[in-house]
Amino acid sequence: MTPNAVSSGESAANHAAHFVCPFCGLLCDDLPAPASRSDFLAWGQQLQSLCPRAGQGVAALSKAATERPTVVRIDGQPATLDEAVAEAARRLAAARRPLFGGLSGDVQTVRAALTLADRGGARVVHRNQFNMQRNLFAQQSRGALTATLAEVKNRAELVLVVGGTMTNGFPRLYQRLFAPAPVFANEAERTVLLLGAPPPERLPAGVRVESVDCGNLDLLDAVAVLRAHLLGLPVATGNSSNSLASVAQRLRDCRYGAVVWAAAELNFTAADLFVEQLFQMVVDLNKKTRWVCLPLGGNDADLTANAVSTWQTGFPLPIEFSGTAEAHSVAYDPFPDYADADLLLWLAPLAGEGKPALPGLPDGIPTVVIGAPSLAGSAPVDAKGIFIGVATPGVTGTGHLVRTDGVITMYAAAVLDSPLPAAAAVLERIAAALNGEKQ
């Protein structure tokens, strides 16, 4: 039995009322589980009204299950799992510069991927890595003061949301931050300040929201002016300056505040330097009062992948394994170029969207895709590749995932029956085939 298989002894009597939703970094554990272990369709429709991202994720899996696509293929033709594992091992052994990408899986999947990458001298990168580096580079440069979701919810009187629509990637963010009532803050005084961000969707009742008037300043200049006011530096006069001076005073007067942003929304040049300004602004504020950062991440399990990479190798992603069977080495590779890659092993138990967007990746590169069944027949799968459908952690499979605040690792149990294997089990079988072990 695969790690994701459900024994006949597990019945509705053991079925949980809620599940850990893997479809964004919030990992909400208060959404309803399906009424039965085989009910995709009704459950997906129920979730759609509560969280569109969760509803869409389950709907994609439901569609794949309903249409019953072939979940194992070699070069477009149906195959057995044994055949696909053997062929994937053969192609990986023949590759000179393999690349492991995607990595949108649970802890065990990433561990197995790193073990196989070490065995094959592969480079490893997460699909969201170049968004994540906007936070990572700033943190590596100057450090950061961050908090958990629970701490912000229970203590923050003022939440400064910077840049972009947070609910695009994290639809239930404001529910998580503002409901139920806080333990240590005055609920009536809690306010959301929007700096370069549109009015939020899905806002709990009673939460006050105000937009900051930045005049003709763009987001980068607005934050620079705001920080100048906090530091008491001279600032050119003007309406935007006056408005930001007022905001700076409110930040100073707040007893506990939080600055929130999502790196994926900061899609401009030198975004890491902008994030560094946010980190340092919080340092400035902590000289007189208490402020924290809450950088949002974790979608497609990107924080999970980076956490496992750091535990296992001492480096965040991207990394590169090299050496011989007798002397292995691993190196951090923050500015990669994959133009010479000759095989892509794409891991996507959490399906994600679109084709891989990796620096220099050749068009038409041979692929081995180990992913959610909803990926069958779509990018990055093509007619000249291998596809192996696997379980999705938190839905049809089990696994551990790292939450957006980077502090909590949540256990996401399977809530629907599935015959699909775990991605980690497939990777382990490919590694065994490379080592010539009996399957």
Q: Of residues 77 and 436, which shows the higher confidence score?
A: 77
pLDDT tens for 133-188 read 999 999 999 899 999 999 999 999 999 999 989 999 999 999 999 987 777 777 77
d(CA 209, CA 160): 10
More confident residue, 36 or 330: 330
Mean pLDDT of 271-277: 96
User: Is the model's pLDDT at 103 over the cut of 50?
Assistant: yes
Q: Using the predicted structure, report yes or no on whether residue 373 has a pLDDT greater than 50.
A: yes
Per-residue pLDDT tens digits for 278-332: 999 999 999 999 999 999 999 999 999 999 999 999 999 999 998 665 667 999 9
Region 362-368: mean pLDDT is: 91
Of 3-12, 54-63, 410-419, least confident by mean pLDDT is 3-12
Residue 40 and residue 65: Cα distance in Å, rounded? Answer: 8
268: its two tokens: 């401009």
Residues in contact with 14: Cβ distance below 8 Å, sequence separation at least 6, in sequence order: none
Pairing between strand 158-162 and 77-78?
unpaired
Q: For strands 343-348 and 98-101, give the pairing.
A: parallel
Whole-number Å distance between alpha carbons of 113 and 121: 12
Mean pLDDT for 61-74 is 78
Q: What average pLDDT score do residues 52-68 get? A: 84
What is d(CA 242, CA 239) in angstroms, rounded to the nearest whole number? 5
Q: First vs last Cα of the chain: how many Å apart?
A: 14
Looking at the chain, the whole-number percentage of residues with pLDDT higher than 70 is 91
CB 352 within 8 A of CB 127: yes
**What CATH class is the domain 71-126+313-434?**
alpha beta
What is the average pLDDT score of the chain?
Answer: 89
Question: So what's the pLDDT on residue 63?
Answer: 79
Q: Which residues partner with 74 through β-bridges? A: 77, 386
pLDDT at 12 over 60: no
Residue 85: which pLDDT band, with cuts at 50, 70 and 90? Answer: very high
Q: Could you tell me the pLDDT band of residue 94, with boundaries at 50, 70 and 90? A: very high
Cα atoms in the 13 Å half-sphere on the side-chain side of 239: 6
pLDDT for 193 equals: 96
- Name the helix (H) or strand (E) containing 92: helix 81-94
Domain locations in the chain? 71-126+313-434, 131-297
The one-letter amino acid code at 94 reads: A
**Res 13 pLDDT > 60:** no
pLDDT tens for 185-231 read 777 788 999 999 999 888 888 889 999 988 889 999 999 999 999 99
Are 349 and 49 in contact by the 8 Å Cβ rule? The answer is: no
**Contact call for residues 315 and 331 (beta carbons, < 8 A):** yes
Say if CB 214 and CB 195 are below 8 A apart. yes
**Distance separating alpha carbons of residues 405 and 135, to the nearest angstrom:** 13
pLDDT band at 409 (very low <50, low <70, confident <90, very high): very high
* Rounded Cα–Cα distance for residues 275 and 77 (Å): 47
> What's the rounded Cα separation, in Å, for the pair 290 and 107?
34
Residue 69: pLDDT band with limits 50, 70, 90: low
Instruction: Tell me the pLDDT band of 51, cut-offs 50, 70 and 90.
Output: very high
Residue 356: half-sphere exposure toward Cβ, Cα within 13 Å: 32
- What gap in Å lies between CA 79 and CA 414, rounded to an integer? 26
Question: What's the rounded Cα separation, in Å, for the pair 8 and 10?
Answer: 5
The helix/strand/coil state of 400 is: strand
Rg of the chain's alpha carbons, rounded to an integer?
Answer: 23
DSSP 229-287: HHHT-----SHHHHHHHHHHHHHHH-SEEEEEEEGGG--STTHHHHHHHHHHHHHHHTT
Give percent of the chain with pLDDT exceeding 90.
70
d(CA 251, CA 264): 25
**Is the fold of 71-126+313-434 the same as that of 131-297?**
no
* 233-247, 264-278, 300-314: least confident range: 233-247
* pLDDT the model gives residue 200: 87
- pLDDT bin (cut points 50, 70, 90) of residue 381 is low
In this structure, CATH architecture of domain 131-297: 3-Layer(aba) Sandwich (3.40)
Region 60-72 average pLDDT: 77
pLDDT above 80 for 345: yes
